Structure 1
């Protein structure tokens, strides 16, 4: 399937490296830019995800820039171990995903460089910070609304994405005992009968569904689908091979239905569905301006997440589907708000009509394209394949 598209894929890879080299040095202490023009700041979460693609780029200059990012994050870490949202700004605090992403980045960087004790002190402080993020003093990590990458969407209590990040870095850093305990807690069902009995703990498994709850806390939960969290669940081995395969089939069938209903114009899945609509109980007034159905965090198509979904398809051994989605992603990254660009690597795409709505030359859009292409080429879920386990939830 890929042979007829290989030239186009190679062109896209070269364009992605061009974007990353352009963004490697920005105006803030020479740290990388988050986007070519719109975001000059070095955002922690974007750059930690981008490390996956930079690691397969073959460009030492880019790896050196990521070393500088990790060193700067360690320097700006709080005394309690928390990692800031902006790499250069020790005061920009409060995110729930930056510290687990830092630990994920450390795990990946150590695998690449074989520096087994790289930033050991900062790693230990970050691990301790994460242990303190469980209000039950167990293993599930809790968060405040809009504190993860979804800065315009409410995730309350035990968000699935942050907990899959936590599971992933625990595996990469060989913290297997705590990973097993977290897996056990995540494997409980969400509470659906409105009653929480003493010593009964909520979990993130949804009855009769192959995917995991968006979030759960006590008797409350959301069963909307989070593509990023569930892709990480497949990549990390949290989801068993059977669950992973069933989940992929479910995603593709739901996307077919959304296309029939004119809710989706792309061959790629939205980051979140079903969309939250104005009459839904989880709708917030602010969404009307910043998070409309099919847009931004409420169902927009994010190329960086689609790159991780393609890697998850490889982990699930759905090789032909992964090739098909890589071809679709190759077409999507051409979209741009600036018509002068051959490859836009735009931040996010509106689901209903496929219009690019974010910033062009987004670092993680370019990096995760490289990562997806390399996973398809090698048929390996790179950096996760030997960190995952054979039997998940």
Structure 2
């Protein structure tokens, strides 16, 4: 890494911290904002992901802010253990990823605070809730369409991302036997072209490809690539070291091909590819307005997801590539739709690299800090202890 890159990264880290401190107090009970101006609400999933960067920063004010978020989520938890989608609104329910993200967040906070019993009652209730999300009454949990962070994209049944989160929190909470079962079930070769045999349980491995499927349920599945889910699979140890290396090579080769075809203008992977197009059977009419190819959840480049990918590269010991991608990510977060020096925008359009959505996004800033810390220390904080 050149000195000029190090200087820009240090400047970006300070800017990220400024974003997080600015967003630490919002208009809803003093809880953090999801973005500097556009999203004043405290969205659970955004703030739970931000714990990784906040914990890596070591900033006491931010740690107290995130403690308040966790305590409010526990207070607003339903009687069955479900965690709401908005921290302050106990009636805003229905997300498939908020409860596993809460458990992940508590796991990280416990490690940083040294308090292994933090919110134990709420944790037990949340674990019970997650147990009931498995239709087969085994290990993999299922979800409804548009119920995870992709609120404009269909994921049906056993989604990779949510199940990777389950594996993450089980590891962080020390529940390794159950985590081993999740890993085992996810590794079954069942995505085989529409044939479901009764003696084979659902899984998420795609035959002849190194990555895990987007989702799978009985005879239906999607083999499109989910960057966040697969990065979490590498980070938490679902993917073996050899599979992780093979997967990363596949990602980089596919992205090179997209750049050659004019589908990708930035040297970072889209959150999802190949893009869903109007002629594809998994296209939905609403996508034409809200989820076009190369945009938003249908292949947009999300800085927070790329931060997790950089961490996954470190986990796979691809240190040089991780440093290179961090530099590219740094230049991307400098882009701004509002003219600010560092935009930390919500997402970036794949085909032209234009920053889109709200700027000063909390999770964009937080996961940048986390990625930078991982590259600096050649270690994946909070995950490097996972067996």
Same fold at TM > 0.5: yes
Cα displacement (A) at 1:181: 1.0
Unaligned runs of 5+ in 2: none
Distance, in Å, in 2 between the alignment partners of 1:63 and 1:257 is 42
Aligned counterpart, 1:150: 150
In structure 1, the partner of 2:133 is: 133
Could you list the runs of 4 or more consecutive aligned residues of structure 1 that deviate by over 2 angstroms after TM superposition?
190-200
Q: Could you say what secondary structure the match of 1:144 adopts?
A: coil
CA apart distance, 1:191: 4.0
**1:218 corresponds to which residue?**
218
State the SS of the aligned residue for 1:190: strand
Contact 1:326 1:372 (8 Å CA) reproduced? yes
* 1:346 corresponds to: 345
Q: Which residue of 1 aligns with 2:167?
A: 167
CA distance in 1, matches of 2:127, 2:40: 29
Match for residue 67 of structure 1? 67
Q: CA deviation at 1:59?
A: 1.1
Q: What is the deviation of 1:192?
A: 2.4
* Aligned residue runs from structure 1 range 176-215, under 5 A: 176-192=176-192, 194-215=194-215
Q: Aligned runs of 1:66-145 on 2, under 5 Å?
A: 66-145=66-145
Deviations 1:61-113 (A, max 9, x none): 00000000000000000000000000000000000000000000000000001
Q: Unpaired runs of 5+ in structure 1?
A: none
The answer as to whether partners of 2:190 and 2:200 remain within 8 angstroms in 1 is no
Structure 1 residue 315, shift from structure 2 partner: 0.3
Measured after TM superposition, the shift of residue 193 of structure 1 is 5.0
TM-score (norm 2): 0.99
Q: Which whole-Å CA distance do the structure 1 matches of 2:149 and 2:180 have between them?
A: 25
1:196 CA drift (Å) = 2.8
Deviations 1:227-271 (A, max 9, x none): 000000010011000000000100000000000000000011100
2:329 match: 329
Retained in 1: the 8 A contact 2:194–2:221?
no
Contact 1:294 1:351 in 2 (8 A): yes
CA shift, 1:5, in A, is 1.1
**1:201 & 1:124 partners in 2: Cα distance?**
27
In 2, are the aligned partners of 1:2 and 1:323 still within 8 Å (CA)? no
Which residue number corresponds to residue 380 of structure 2? Answer: 381
TM-score, structure 1 normalization = 0.97
Residue by residue, what CA displacement relative to the aligned partner does 1:360-389 show, whole Å, maximum 9, x if unpaired?
0000000000000000000001110002x3
Instruction: Say which SS state the counterpart of residue 232 (structure 2) adopts.
Output: helix
Matched, 1:42 2:39: no
In 2: Cα distance, 1:59 partner to 1:134 partner = 38
Offset at residue 272 of structure 1 (A): 0.2
Aligned partners of 2:198, 2:353: CA distance in 1, in Å?
48
Q: Which moved more, 1:184-193 or 1:34-43?
A: 184-193
Alpha-carbon contact 1:191-1:218 (below 8 Å) kept = no
Number of aligned residue pairs: give it: 387
* Aligned-partner Cα distance in 2 for 1:362–1:193: 39
- Alpha-carbon deviation of 1:2? 4.3
Kindly report the root-mean-square deviation, in angstroms, between the aligned alpha carbons of the 2 structures. Answer: 0.8
Take 2:365 and 2:200, find their aligned partners in 1: how far apart are those partners?
Answer: 44
Please give the per-residue CA displacement for 1:274-304, whole angstroms capped at 9, x wherever unaligned: 0000000000000000000000000000000
Q: Any conservation in 2 of the 1:192–1:219 contact (CA below 8 Å)? A: no
Task: Name the SS for the 1:333 alignment partner.
Answer: helix
- CA shift for structure 1 position 336: 1.1
Whether the 8 Å contact between 2:134 and 2:141 is mirrored in structure 1 is yes
